[in-house]
């Protein structure tokens, strides 16, 4: 890892990439993406305080623009082809499994922004009790929402 948001002393740690990285090293562009991602965490924490890790990471992935492909691609090429983890696992054991937790976090945050709107989503971040309420079965609701949305679009095109 080249950066982490919260160290024991609440500092951000960044490591300078090599000028001529080997194929196993990260490029300067990859470092740049991670630094932007970590800075989003710092800004988010300053504005809203502590929020669940899946929400922190989902927001950072939504804003850091590292997902160059759309949600439909993510569904077709990853989410719909793998077992869906349970909600509690995403909430309590983020990043501790074979699957990419960031994909699911990004999907859930995208769903919340799509269905709530940006203003209501920002208001949600200020209300820890509402976060606890809205997270119930959020992963499955997100997957079902986007699958239905893209199936509907597919049917309209026919």
Domain ranges of the chain: 1-50, 52-158
pLDDT grade for 121, boundaries at 50, 70 and 90 = very high
pLDDT tens profile 2-31:
555 555 666 666 666 677 777 777 777 777
Q: Strand, helix or coil at 9?
A: coil
The least confident of 33-42, 103-112, 148-157 is 148-157
Reduce the secondary structure of 41-108 to three states and give it as a string: HHHHHHHHCCCCHHHHHHHHHHHHCCCCCCHHHHHHHCHHHCCCCCHHHHHHCCCCCCCCHHHHHHHH
Would the pLDDT of 68 be above 90?
no
Q: Which of the two residues, 6 and 154, has the higher pLDDT score?
A: 154
Note if the pTM is more than 0.75: yes
pLDDT of residue 1: 44
Residues contacting residue 102 through CB under 8 Å, at least 6 positions apart: 57, 58, 61, 95
Measured at the alpha carbon of residue 66, what is the angle toward residues 65 and 72, in degrees to the nearest 5? 90
Whole-number Å distance between alpha carbons of 40 and 46:
10
pLDDT tens profile 93-105:
888 888 889 999 9
pLDDT of residue 24: 76
């Amino acid at each position: 890892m080249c950066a982490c948001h919260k160290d024991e002393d609440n500092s951000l740690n960044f490591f300078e990439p090599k000028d001529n990285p080997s194929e196993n090293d990260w490029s300067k562009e990859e470092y740049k993406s991670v630094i932007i991602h970590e800075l989003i965490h710092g800004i988010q924490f300053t504005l809203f305080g502590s929020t669940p890790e899946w929400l922190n990471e989902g927001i950072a992935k939504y804003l850091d623009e590292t997902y160059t492909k759309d949600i439909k691609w993510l569904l077709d090429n990853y989410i719909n082809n793998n077992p869906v983890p349970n909600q509690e696992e995403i909430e309590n054991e983020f990043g501790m499994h074979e699957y990419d937790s960031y994909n699911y976090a990004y999907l859930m945050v995208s769903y919340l922004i799509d269905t709530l709107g940006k203003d209501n989503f920002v208001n949600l971040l200020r209300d820890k009790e509402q976060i606890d309420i809205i997270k119930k079965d959020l992963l499955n609701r997100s997957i079902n929402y986007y699958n239905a949305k893209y199936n509907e679009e597919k049917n309209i095109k026919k």
